[in-house]
Amino acid sequence: MLMTSGTGPASGWIKPRRRPSTYALKEGEKVILIDAGSPEAVMDVMEVFGKPECALISHAHLDHWSGINVLRWTGLKTYSHESTFSHPYFKEITDMPFELELRAIEYFEPVEVCGFSVVAFPLRHSIPATGFLINEKVAYLLDTKGLPEDSFKFLKDKVEYVIIDAALPDGVEGPHNTFKEAVDLSLDLGAKKAFLVHLLPSLSVEEVLSYAEDKGLDAEVPYDGQTFKL
């Protein structure tokens, strides 16, 4: 089961509530966080799913990791690529992790993370960023502008669900997908369903979903606190 606890960009949204990137997967009693951009959102995950044992952090921007502060004394196993742990933006954590266990993982090498199968791969962003394929069916693609060729080839026709960066309006340039690029990339990967997230507040959700429907993609623009059975 997927819980979308922080579905917004760094700025967040007020109505409907979309805090910075915070997601969780639960299978049986096993819970992992996928990014932890909001302490409040992490607390909400714990109320609904229980305390996570592990977290996957995509990159060193604060809106993707600040929520692990509320778990800093719990022994949380925190996984990312070394480029995240060594980045100056993550220095607060690497200098004083307290009881966090920082565990670097290599690209394209499968690892077991608290009972989940995880493969990390590079994304394309303004700083080094990492995506994750989880249990060979859920691909986490935040933050990114398209995909590097090797990551695209790795994921092609292997994913059922994508949680994908759809931040920007059509025609706007930046280190994030436009919503149209996110829809088109989801289709190119062969995804069964796309969760279009990280939208800027200037975007119209209706326009985003209309484009996805016109292209034949089963898509959601979730808000915080929703759960989905995968």
Residue 217 lies in a domain: yes
Long-range pairs, 11-20, Cβ under 8 A, ≥24: 11/200, 11/201, 12/38, 13/199, 13/201, 16/223, 16/224, 17/223, 17/224, 17/225, 18/199, 18/223, 18/224, 19/224, 20/63, 20/64, 20/66, 20/67
Residue 56 lies in a domain: yes
Residue 67 lies in a domain: yes
Question: Which CATH number does the domain housing residue 39 bear?
Answer: 3.60.15.10
pTM of the model: 0.98
Number of domains in the chain: 1
Domain holding 54, by residue range, is: 2-222
Residue 227 lies in a domain: no
Residue 87 lies in a domain: yes
Percent of the chain at pLDDT exceeding 70: 100
Residue-level pLDDT at 46: 97
Position 101, amino acid = E
What is the per-residue pLDDT across 116-161, written as a single tens digit (0 to 9) for each? 999 999 999 999 999 999 999 999 999 999 999 999 999 999 999 9
